[in-house]
Amino acid sequence: MRKIRILPSILAADFSDLGADVRAVVEAGGDLVHVDIMDGHFVPNISFGPDVVKAIRKSTDAPFDTHLMIAPADPYLEAFARAGSDIITVHAEAGPHLHRSLQTIRALGKKAGVSLNPGTSETAIECVMDMVDLVLVMSVNPGFGGQSFIPSALDKIRRVKAMIAGRDIALEVDGGVTAANAGEVAAAGADYLVAGSAAFKGGRAQYAANIAAIRTAAESAIGVLV
Ligand code: DX5
Ligand code: ZN
């Protein structure tokens, strides 16, 4: 049976107390920490860089899933690897040398991910499927938390699932995932569910209930006994 993993996106965390919030959301049931890096160029927003990732790395042993929404990405891969990322995901749209970026991530000893914007066909990654450990289907246009899930992402998830064809590649979905749509998302084939606002809403006392609601919805939809 497929295992569902919930990845709180710390873009929605309390930046004034980030280390403690990262620890709290993992203790509340987050499986991996989704770390959103934005450069104000590839996406119209800026988040934080490798020094912040390194600082919060001390707060938990949970794996760090670093989502690079930056272009170019290649000059910064080593810094994010050294900062303690376990998975590093680059966007297929971020530059002309996706193959090289993925080679570099694996050469740094990290798992390699590739992400697709809502407007990019999955055919863009056909030639690199044997070089990735994770495919990230964006279900919003990247740049901001709190946006609504774009329904056409569901068909793309199904198509990417077919392309994975049983290989050991995680299928991650990011953007507007909530307990209300986690079932559809999981049923379409996703196993890594990123949740920003839906995980962090209501403050620390709510994190565990928020994450449990997303997990239960996803697992019920794919028939995991809960
Ligand atoms: C969007 C980011 C997401 C975002 C998700 O550009 O990549 O990871 O934080 O936030 P929600 O779950 O609120 O859409
Ligand atoms: Zn993200």
Token pair 């290989």: residue: 167
Distance CA(189)–CA(176), nearest Å, equals: 17
Annotated catalytic residue 36:
yes
Specify the ligand 1 atom closest to the Cα of 197: 13
Band (pLDDT 50/70/90 cuts) for residue 136 is very high
Q: Structural domain boundaries of the chain?
A: 5-225
pLDDT of residue 188: 98
Residues with CB under 6 A from ligand 1: 9, 11-12, 34, 36, 67, 140, 142-147, 174-177, 194-198
Distance CA(192)–CA(31), nearest Å, equals: 9
Number of neighbours of residue 203 by Cβ within 10 angstroms? 9
Q: pTM for the complete prediction?
A: 0.98
72 cis-preceded (ω within 30 degrees of 0): yes
DSSP state of 71: S
Average pLDDT, the chain: 97
Bridge partners (DSSP) of residue 172 are 136, 192
For a ligand 1 pocket test, name from 6, 7, 10, 11 the mutation site with the most ligand atoms within 8 angstroms of its C-beta: 11
Residues with CB under 5 A from ligand 2 (ion): 36, 67, 174
- Does the domain made of 5-225 have the CATH classification 1.20.1250.20? no
Annotated catalytic residue 51:
no
Distance CA(202)–CA(180), nearest Å, equals: 17
- What is the arithmetic mean of pLDDT over 158-183? 98
Residue nearest atom 7 of ligand 1, based on CA coordinates: 142
For a ligand 1 pocket test, name from 174, 177, 178, 193 the mutation site with the most ligand atoms within 8 angstroms of its C-beta: 174
Distance CA(78)–CA(170), nearest Å, equals: 22
pLDDT of residue 2: 79
